[in-house]
Structure 1
């Protein structure tokens, strides 16, 4: 599978949105840190009419891709999804897409960690952190800074404080404005469908857990042939992750359904072969 470099992928993204001005809009959001570190994140809105004054009557879906630099395939999936929603990709019928967009509005971040992605493209194929060495999926203010016995700062450095990173603040602020009903953080490295929590071996209360579990089990049957790991991140992945986006979305922002999807992983790859481990 040939993966596009980040610059080419983002150019293609810009062109795709420009071809569909009534149903897609693109915003580039910038933020910086006190030491001068800067980040810019593109966010695409998809709706049957992006000029609508309000989306209060729609199901609001927030999808995030490319949080870890080495997980290149996730941004490719984001672009493919946008092509489908634009109706250029005919994998789904126009009638089906029309029906979805009559009921839902999407905010899609195709590549959260642009700076980290560029580090990978410059040869550091195992890098997951942002452009200054922070794992942005450990930088959220929920159980932040807790370190397990196997903590590795080259993998999981959480930053100097919650929301120290521009990328994390941008996503938080999008969520605060958009108030999503559904959040999905898309990763690679294994094949799994996770609900909260990441930082402990527990799931949300019974009704919420049952609702989310039903959805994940349905997706597992439809798209994983029953082979995806399903459960809470902390209970099913084999380690606890502290300060994650999905836990924050669920616990703090009260997003009713919050998930982490792991869409690809090569279990036979050598531990040092990160490209093969995380990408087809």
Structure 2
């Protein structure tokens, strides 16, 4: 059974996704005047083929355990993205479906020396390995030049999410800081949902809420995004604004850890 905190988060997710939809988005008539934004609970229940009472219990965070079929029906009714569907399932299962669920908290912070050596061999491509809470566990000189000198930072500051929202340099490095920061927070939320018994995630977010207005505003929205490769516009301290492609690789021996390597793909036009 999911923990109480997960059930509350599940209810908040359902409500936030219900409120962002209009009847026309799901093929329903607008009907009479609405006092609040979004769909009504009974409309979601109708679309998901369940009773209003059962859906209300879910949205209120009551101790009910929805089946996979019910979760799929809710995701379809609320027009959830792939990442949102994964997040919904993780919350409903109390983290047991999350990546690396069930591993010891300390184990994710140990990094294989071979992985550290690989990061160095990938020089001059900026490369890091991040742990379960997105702490930077290894980096090469090019990554430290582009982003931050992680080795020189205090232990509590060697964290990608914390750096993104509290370091002035992050807003200089990322030419499109706001969408990148929103995406990073969404990916971190999905990672945190997979480890409901790890207090380190909550401590990090609570600290960020105190230090970042953006985190205070964005975290309650329950936006999530899947981790994946892609491209970014970054400002290199010596070379200027460049387009970078990046690849994200999960470490086989510790799936909570990922290697991220960047390759410059030309100047920003």
- When the two structures are superposed, what TM-score results if normalisation uses the length of structure 2? 0.25
Structure of higher CA gyration radius? 2
Greater relative contact order (CA < 8 Å, ≥ 6 in sequence): 1
Higher strand share: 1
Q: Could you say which structure has the higher helix fraction?
A: 2
TM-score, normalised on structure 1? 0.24
